[in-house]
Amino acid sequence: MTARESTRSAPDSTRALGTREALRYPDPVRLAYHVMSAPPPLGLLFLARTERGLRYTEFMDRKSIRRMIQRHEADCPDAKWEASLLELKAVVDQFESYFCGTLTEFDLALDPVGTEFQQAVWNQLRQIPYARTRTYGQIAKAIGQPKAARAVGLANHDNPIAIIVPCHRVIGADGGLVGYGGGVPRKRWLLQHEARFGLMEDQLDLRPAMMGPAPRVAVVAKPAYVGKTAVAKPTPPAKRAPAAKPVPVAKRATVSKPAPSTRGATISVNAQAARRSTPSIKATAAARSTSASRASARGATRRGR
């Protein structure tokens, strides 16, 4: 190669080393954020995500959005924050299902920022089942550091993705509700919420085994003709028969006392009357016999003549 050719090729190589692609700084991180309301005492939730996944789920505690963003300037100094419900709609929908009791496990991509120890603790927290609890000592043993229970508590307190990374399911060795960044009232509410719906879910899982298959009920629909199209008319539910009124108990009839009999008195009166009339009967008979004797005497006199 001649000197002239080398001189010509030198600027090309220099230009290649000084291109913008070789010396370009990384693009600033873009975070989409949204604020949603949760049941009391949880209050407002501040949600933020990057292109990789959800990075923050925090309780606002009457803080403004500007103050919530300023808290993360140290972690993301050149971040570009943009409000976007569309990008966080999947997170909002799963939160609403969780608060209604129909969702027991979140299925979201996460992008938390923390040390290697914190990441290990947060990953272990996601292994705690719904409506169950673990102690700080159990989490420390699970990550292979049984003597780091206090450090586990600090990592649990600094969890940036509340509820989804269930740090509220970690309790003290004595069962106390300690070490929760959101406060004891929120931790108690979350545990009671999961216990209530977790118990209902267990009962629903056991009900088919206890009751067996549900009986089949045949429903006969009568077609109601509208023009030329037959529309099935559902059978109305049977009306409940009215309850029979109780029959009133008949009152006990009063027994009337029998009237005193007057038969004996009548007989005695008739006897007395008969006794009184006996002399008159005798006198009548004597008179009749006297008149008969007189008549016979008269007849004899007439014959003698």
CB 142 within 8 A of CB 150: no
Question: What is the rounded distance in angstroms from the CA atom of residue 152 to the CA atom of residue 31?
Answer: 28
Amino acid letter, residue 116: E
CB 132 within 8 A of CB 140: no
Q: Which two tokens stand for residue 175?
A: 């069962």
Question: What is the rounded distance in angstroms from the CA atom of residue 193 to the CA atom of residue 99?
Answer: 8
Active site (annotated) includes residue 167: yes
User: Which three-class secondary structure state does DSSP give residue 238?
Assistant: coil
DSSP string, 101-147: TS--S----B-----HHHHHHHHHHTTSPTT--EEHHHHHHHTT-TT
Given 45, 47, 167, 190, the catalytic residue: 167
Catalytic residues: 167
